Amino acid sequence: PRIEHALAFARVVPDPPARSLDLGAGGGLPGLVLATRCWPDTTWCFLDARARRTAYLRESADELGVGERVTVTTGRAEDFGRDPAHRGRYDLVVARSFAAPAVTAECAAPFLSVGGRLVVSEPPAADLPDRWPAAALALLGFGPPTPHALDTESGPVHLVSLVLETPTSDRFPRRVGIPSKRPLF
């Protein structure tokens, strides 16, 4: 079921991305699945704050034969979202179980280039306007959220996608921990 869930992310992305980031990559879902099964030409950055997880991801990427196009980075999204090597550089950011919507949006937006897409796994009964309010998302440069309910062999998968319409203000992301302590919405 987890592999099918990860594969569902590819179904809501209209074109293969050139550069993608798995935010809070954890055990590699959906990033490793998308890198190995969906987009053979996409370069990836897997970002996670825990060194144990990133060590596992490096080993896994090498074992799966995608190590040459996957960079694994240990660090906080709030810090790396300000790094010129990462800011505004990605066509796609994926997130599964990263954080609450406000934190995920604030941490992901700085990584995206204008026209880039954030795709996030959602609970099945999510109230989209409450969880992803369009007015607050516009502060980060996002257009309105688009819900996706996809059928897979192992059951339904719920995702939301957001397209970055304008560059994210230099105010974002705020310092480490602030997005969760004082969410924008």
21-36 pLDDT, tens digit per residue, is 999 999 999 999 999 9
What is the bridge-based pairing of β-strands 146-152 and 90-95?
unpaired
d(CA 46, CA 24): 7
7-22 pLDDT, tens digit per residue, is 999 999 999 999 999 9
96-140 pLDDT, tens digit per residue, is 999 999 999 999 999 999 999 999 999 988 888 899 999 999 999
Give the H or E element holding residue 71. Answer: strand 70-74
Mean pLDDT, rounded, for 66-78? 98
Whose CA is closest to 21, among 99, 79, 84, 73? 73
β-bridge partners, 112: 90
pTM above 0.85, yes or no: yes
